[in-house]
Structure 1
Amino acid sequence: MGLELYLDLLSQPCRAVYIFAKKNGIPFQLRTVELLKGQHYTDSFAQVNSLRKVPALKDGDFTLAESVAILLYLSRKYKTPDHWYPQDLRARARVDEYLSWQHTALRSCCTRALWQKMMFPVVLGQPVPQETLSSTLADLDSCLQLLEDRFLRDQDFITGSQISVADLMAIEELMHPVGAGCQVFENRPKLAKWRQRVEAVVGEDLFREAHTVILKVKDTPPLDPAVKELLHSVRSLLQ
């Protein structure tokens, strides 16, 4: 059995892994795990990833969880071009710095923006107080400013003149609130030009393909009652 990637393109880290593998010509079998159907909680998926999260990787009898670990595994095994995860100590440290920062900063506010603006009110029919959403959008704006000032600075990509896995992870976080209708790139020309550069490197067709699900999230069909109940139980974590 060859490489298998367990993904749901509704998930931002799954999109990053998918784009990375496709862009680098890495052969894999896509195993779709639909989060909104609760498929990550099944016993069969737990045999691949006992953490019950996507993305997950299975390479023969080897399994791996967590998006950053998966991206680095793929980059090393398939010897992808150096710019994705540079050998240069300082350039690599810049990638690591961004990846460490985003988990408690950009990911948090982008995920909350999607759920508070779209998933809870539109998909689940559970309105979110305006003050809660306003606070989240203010946090998002602050994170966007940090992304521009601290990480992009006056360079084309997060580590300099070439794209890296940091840029993939970053663009996927930002596409989450875009899917909810947030004008993330409006009035931010530096960020908008960076997105254009990332999309140009990835390729327009692949970029569009990877974002079909998130950009149509408002059209999500009715959810199973058990899944609705599960999502309701985690609502407090997303406010």
Structure 2
Amino acid sequence: MTLKLYFDLMSQPSRALYILLKNIKCDFTPVPVDLRKAEHYSEEYTKINRFQRVPVIDHNGFILIESVAILKYLSHEGIIPESLYPRDSKQAARVEEFLEWQHSGLRLHCAMFFRVKALDPIITGKTPEPKTVQGYEHRMENALGMFNDLWLGEGRQFVAGDSISVGDLLAACEVEQPRMAGYDPKDKYPNIADWMRRVRDHFNPYYDEGHAILNKIVKNKSKMAPKL
């Protein structure tokens, strides 16, 4: 089997797939794609992914984009163990129920807050309007509140019930992203905080490895904050 993962650890779904493949001891070839150097816009990479995004897998010549499609495929191929992606149709449906929700229910709002507050100012050199940031923060908090209460409330240990799954890892990588914009969801949402500890413990040491760059950025920002 030849499996290549094209990724950048600044990308939330890239981190999830990288951590997952490391955790399950999959023999894969990591192929970093540096988004900051615009390598995803190169002619060579565009031949691999016409949408010029990460992550991408190449499995024995079969190229696949989109993280959820990749997870489903790797499960069908028997690469992801049943403990993380159930084979039972009803249990699998519970995981996929969350995977379907998280794109617009969680990922959209966490990613847009990070982009507007932290990424766009770097790209454009312009400071966003406070009201604009507040609007995106409000929408993100609505999403986080729903995640905290409806997916992780009433004693639920993980997003699909009492067992950890690929859905938890994908969600955790999304919830980490706003930290680079100075917002840590663990500070306000207790269910999320407890759940993230469980996810991190399960996937470590690879969870911390996958988030090393993110954690470094957060640490550097916290050092600079008193000087601002």
State the Cα deviation string for residues 98-153 of structure 1 (Å, max 9, x = none): 11111112111111111222122356422111011111111111111111222223
Aligned residue pairs: how many?
Answer: 219
SS at match of 2:191: helix
Match of 1:172 in 2: 173
One-letter amino acid of the structure 2 residue matched with residue 39 of structure 1: E
| TM-score, L = length of structure 2 | 0.89
RMSD: 1.9
User: Following the alignment from structure 1 to structure 2, what is the Cα–Cα distance between the partners of residues 51 and 183?
Assistant: 30
| Mean CA deviation greater in 130-139 or 109-118 | 109-118
1:133 equivalent in structure 2: 133
Q: Could you say what secondary structure the match of 1:82 adopts? A: coil
2:10 counterpart residue number: 10
Instruction: Measure, in 2, the Cα distance between the counterparts of 1:15 and 1:145.
Output: 24
Aligned partners of 2:50 and 2:69: how far apart in 1?
16
Equivalence map 1:116-127=2 (5 Å): 116-122=116-122, 124-127=124-127
2:203 maps to what in 1? Answer: 202
> Partners in 2 of 1:54 and 1:35 — Cα distance?
9
Mapped contact 1:48–1:63 kept (Cα < 8 A):
yes
Matches within 5 A, 1:48-67: 48-67=48-67
5+ residue gaps in structure 1?
Answer: 220-239
Q: Which residue of 2 aligns with 1:224?
A: none
Q: Please, what TM-score do these two structures have when normalized by structure 1?
A: 0.85
Which one-letter code corresponds to 1:108 in the other structure?
A: L
Q: Structure 1 residues 147-156 or 27-36, which shifts more? A: 147-156
**2:93 and 2:177 mapped to 1: Cα distance?**
26
What one-letter code is carried by the residue in structure 1 that aligns with 2:166? V
Aligned 1:53-202 pairs, distance under 5 A: 53-122=53-122, 124-153=124-153, 154-202=155-203
% identical equivalent positions: 35
- The Cα offsets for residues 147-196 of structure 1, whole Å up to 9 and x where unpaired, read as 12222232110111211111011101111101222021113221101000
Residue 78 (structure 1) shift: 3.8
Paired residues of 2:145 and 2:189 also in contact (CA < 8 A): no
Matched residue type, 2:101: W
Where in structure 2 are the equivalents of 1:14-53 lying within 5 Å? 14-53=14-53
CA displacement 1:32-68 (0-9 Å, x = unmatched): 1111211111111122212211100112221111111
